[in-house]
Structure 1
Amino acid sequence: MSKSLFFVVLFSALIVQGCSNSRPALPDLPSIESKVNLHKTWRASVDGNFGESSERFNLVAEDGSLFFVTDKGTLYEIAQENGDKKETIPTDYKPSAGVMRHGDVVYFGTYDAQLVAVSLSTQSVLWEKTLSSEILSEATYAAGKIAVQTSDGWLNLLDAETGDPIWRAKEDLPSLTVRGTSAPVIADGKVIAGFSDGKLKAYSLQNGSLQWSYDVGKPEGRYEIERLSDIDGRLVVKNGVVYAVAYNGTLVALSIDSGSPLWQRSIPSSVGVAVKGELLVAVDMKSKVIALNAKNGMEVWENKTLLDRDLISPTFYRDYVAVMDRGGYVHLLDLVTGEVAAQKVADNDVPSGSRMVVSDKQLFILTPNSSVTALSY
């Protein structure tokens, strides 16, 4: 390589690196007339933050508690009512994604490719299993088995009690992918997972045989960056239908039995959808919020007032759908019209550290400055 060419390449690399570490300022907030008083009910400080991605870590809201892990490896159980800490379990691991809970056991994955099972009652690690690559989404439990996906394209099914492998399946990765994976789901005797090549696949829970496959995201374009088609948003299964969306592709509703498409829309997205009754809400790559009829895919409404605010996955919350932006603001949208009915900064103008989770009348959020916030109205 000539010296001049070397400096061109080096300069280009520095520009790309600089761009990746800086983000444009958010647009101004829309002016609204609040219809409800969305306010903070409590905030709890914890040890550690929540990783590199707002969608990767999660809260589990069950039995009056919130369960989660921080990037320092500390596992928490705190009270939903007031944020009081019930259990604090330090570990030596480096979590790379959120948690899955079944009974007394909480599971989480690490950057070192470990899946870890921790007992809440004994505050001890029951087992750890080293897989093939880092784990970038939470695991899923059903019928004594755990499904978990690794960043190198392997889908693994393990025994929940021992961590022993039952079967695994591999999907080849494209040369360029979005960093992350969707969490697999288990339903109707199948393990369903989305992959970085845009494929959604269903495998037999019992033996791992392929049941069906569907191309949600179809790589198109001359350049690799144009061909990104990852399925990174969380999958939703409701009433025998699985809903999935690809980064540069399609929002689709498939029959869980056969994988046949029931309907599809051109709505590229890197985050998941929310489904409640006959209403499906999605957020596209420009942060346009779109509501569709979940049965036929017909548009119900769209909201463009939050464009370019980098919204995370929508969550149904009481009479509204909640979305959160990179500035740390939670917005409540009317289910009928899509209009913003309330907005509230969750925690000191910082973005979410996790997907939001709802329990009863409260909305819970992890934020990257080492705190958990509860909002209500």
Structure 2
Amino acid sequence: MNKRFKIPFVLTLVAAALVGCSSNKPKVEKIKPNPLPKLVQAKTLQQVFSEHVSATNKNDPLRLQIAVDNGTLFFIDPKKDTVEAFQGNKRLWATRISKHETLSAGAVAGNGMVIVGNQKGQLFGLDEATGAVKWTSQLSGPIITPSYIQQGRVITVTNDGNVYAHDVSSGQQLWTYRLPTVALSLRGQAAPTQLDPNTVLIGTANAYVYGIDVVSGMPRLQRRVAVAEGSTDVQRLNDIDGDPVMMGQFMVTTSYQGQVTVTDLQQQQVVWSDNASSNKRPEVTQDAVYITTMDGKIIAYGLLTGEKLWENDQLLHRNLSNPVLLGSDLVVGDFDGALSLLDPSTGKIIGRSMTKGDVTSLRVVDNQLYVSTQKGALSVWQNR
């Protein structure tokens, strides 16, 4: 029987620190995060929405992202087991799914529906306008990452390595695809993303990216994008937990204890790869790739050349979020709720705003920044 063990990232750090220790009572030195650098005439962001939901386990942060569709915001409260809708600062509705406090995946919205999932493997489709639960489907494992809506299908990855497609309106299961499993991996999962109008990309714990036809469920692509080295299972962990990103024909991926890699899918070859450990989604433009590493570096590369354009190590060990571009600024969040603004051409920190709690997810939609934290602080920001 092939069992797949998911371990929180904090335990991975401890296990890695203990490898090779001969003492019966090894001491693990606590790494201190860098203090936030002092700024003169710092740029700030304007907060346009704020709401607070229940906190999640700090050792197992979930992607409680805010979904937005037609100007309406949707999000979950994982402890109250509710889905809420807001327009501006006005709550439109709040629907309690059950009494089990198991909602575990951030909302997605589209085609008039809001999709959420829970730790028991249940997928729910709610009406955007009323919050009424239109359908429920039982999947094979916990749902810890947001689904994706494409071509009228809801694409969902469960924590046991299955990919499902459901009709967004009726909830009818259309197909399922089994991903290869590994014996040991981080507790995390890349969310499905679009390769093209008919294909969805899935990053996995075995350092492969799979492209699956959203209509038929047939595989269209299989690429290994990272390699890890080491003598133990922990040292060989090589998960892709950050969502793959497409820029034209180029697919950009990051991996834990692996590499940042740019692959030309048209030519079916790697353009460049550089050793960098990251479990966050990269930010990509037509010219550059921006990543945050596990130890807190922010690095910019040339998209086509792989040349390192700059590296910022001022925020070491601050548990950085994924980087995003908001207008002319690059933004990263950290464990203390700081949203640092950087000049994307130089890597210089030029501003800061503050939220509350470990920033677990940043998204930019229609030039607005959507922020989620482990403490349940959900907020929307824009440039002043």
TM-score (norm 1): 0.86
1:360, CA displacement in angstroms?
Answer: 4.9
Shift of 1:256: 4.0
Which is worse superposed, 165-174 or 287-296?
165-174
Cα deviation, residue 59, structure 1: 1.4
Counterparts of 1:23-42 in structure 2 under 5 Å? 25-42=32-49
- Residue 65 of structure 1 deviates from its aligned partner by 2.8
CA-to-partner distance for each residue in 1:210-254, whole Å, 9 max, x for gaps?
222222232421100001001101221222322111111111122
In structure 2, distance between residues paired with 1:309 and 1:330: 11
Identity across matched positions, percent:
23
* Residue pairs, 1:212-227, within 5 angstroms: 212-227=221-236
Equivalence for 1:287: 296
Matched residue, 2:9: none
Q: Which residue of 1 aligns with 2:7?
A: none
Q: Secondary structure at the match of 1:356?
A: strand
Which deviates more from structure 2 when the two are superposed, residues 169-178 or residues 201-210? 201-210
CA 1:260–1:109 in 2, change beyond 3 Å: closer, same or farther?
farther
Match of 2:155 among 147, 157, 164: 147
Q: 2:363 aligns with which of 352, 357, 361?
A: 357
- Alignment-mate amino acid for residue 67 of structure 1: F
* Cα distance, 1:362 vs structure 2: 4.1
Residue 360 and residue 113 in structure 1: after superposition, are their counterparts in 2 closer, same or farther (change >3 A)? Answer: closer
| CA distance, structure 2, for counterparts of residue 61 and residue 277 of structure 1 | 25
Please state how far the C-alpha of 1:179 moved relative to its aligned partner.
0.3
Shift of 1:162: 2.4
User: How far apart are 1:318 and its partner, in Å?
Assistant: 1.5
- Greater shift in the superposed pair: 174-183 or 217-226: 217-226
- Decide whether the 8 Å contact of 1:328 with 1:345 is kept in 2: yes
Q: Aligned in 2, Cα 1:115/1:333: closer, same or farther, shift over 3 Å?
A: same
Per-residue CA deviations over 1:179-200 (Å, capped at 9, x if unaligned) read 0110112332222111111111
Note the residue ranges of structure 2 that are not aligned, 5 or more in a row.
Answer: 1-13, 16-25
Structure 1 residues 242, 50: CA separation in 2 closer, same or farther (over 3 Å shift)? farther
Instruction: Give structure 1 stretches of 5+ with no counterpart.
Output: 1-14
Kindly indicate whether residue 319 of structure 2 is the aligned counterpart of residue 310 of structure 1: yes
1:113/1:133 contact within 8 Å kept: yes
Q: Give the aligned residue type for 1:146.
A: V
Matched, 1:320 2:329: yes
Aligned residues: 353
Query: Deviation per CA, 1:276-303, whole angstroms, max 9, x where unpaired?
Result: 3322210112110011122332222111
List per-residue Cα deviations over 1:23-78 (Å, max 9, x = no partner): 755321122224423354553344x3356544622112333232211202211222
Matches within 5 A, 1:224-373: 224-257=233-266, 259-347=268-356, 350-352=357-359, 354-360=360-366, 362-373=368-379
| Cα deviations by residue, 1:1-41 (Å, 9 ceiling, x for unpaired) | xxxxxxxxxxxxxx97xx9xx97553211222244233545
Residue of 186, 190, 195 corresponding to 2:194: 186
Higher mean C-alpha displacement, 95-104 vs 322-331: 95-104
Equivalent-residue separation in structure 2 for 1:285 and 1:148 (angstroms): 26
Q: Distance in 2 between matches of 1:30 and 1:76?
A: 37
The 1:160–1:194 alpha-carbon spacing in structure 2 relative to 1, beyond 3 Å, is: same
Structure 1 residue 326 displacement after superposition: 0.5
Residues 262-284 of structure 1, C-alpha deviations (whole Å, 9 max, x = no match) = 32222221111011332221011
Note if contact 2:81-2:103 (Cα within 8 Å) is conserved in structure 1.
Answer: yes
Amino acid at match of 1:88: A
Distance 2:128 2:232 in 1: 48
Q: 2:122 aligns with which of 114, 122, 141?
A: 114
Q: Distance in 2 between matches of 1:25 and 1:307?
A: 9
Greater mean deviation of Cα atoms: 211-220 or 286-295: 211-220
Q: One-letter code of the match for 2:237?
A: L
Asked if 1:166 corresponds to 2:174, the answer is yes
Pairing 1:86–2:86 present: no
* 3-state SS in 2 of match to 1:355: strand
User: In 2 relative to 1, CA 201–228 (structure 1 residues): closer, same or farther, beyond 3 Å?
Assistant: same
Shift of residue 259, structure 1, vs aligned partner: 4.5
Contact 1:113–1:132, Cα closer than 8 Å, also in 2: yes
Secondary structure in structure 2 of the residue aligned to 1:226: coil
Distance 1:355 1:301 in 2: 23
Moved more, 70-79 or 105-114: 70-79
Structure 1 range deviating more: 146-155 or 207-216: 207-216
CA distance in 2 between counterparts of 1:276 and 1:50 reads 32
Indicate if the aligned counterparts of 1:263 and 1:296 stay in contact, CA closer than 8 A: yes
Cα distance 1:288–1:309, how it changes in 2: closer, same or farther (>3 A)?
Answer: same
3-state SS of 1:221 partner: coil
Cα pair 2:43 2:352 within 8 Å, conserved: no
Aligned to 2:143: 135
For 1:159, give the aligned amino acid. Answer: D
Moved more, 23-32 or 122-131: 23-32
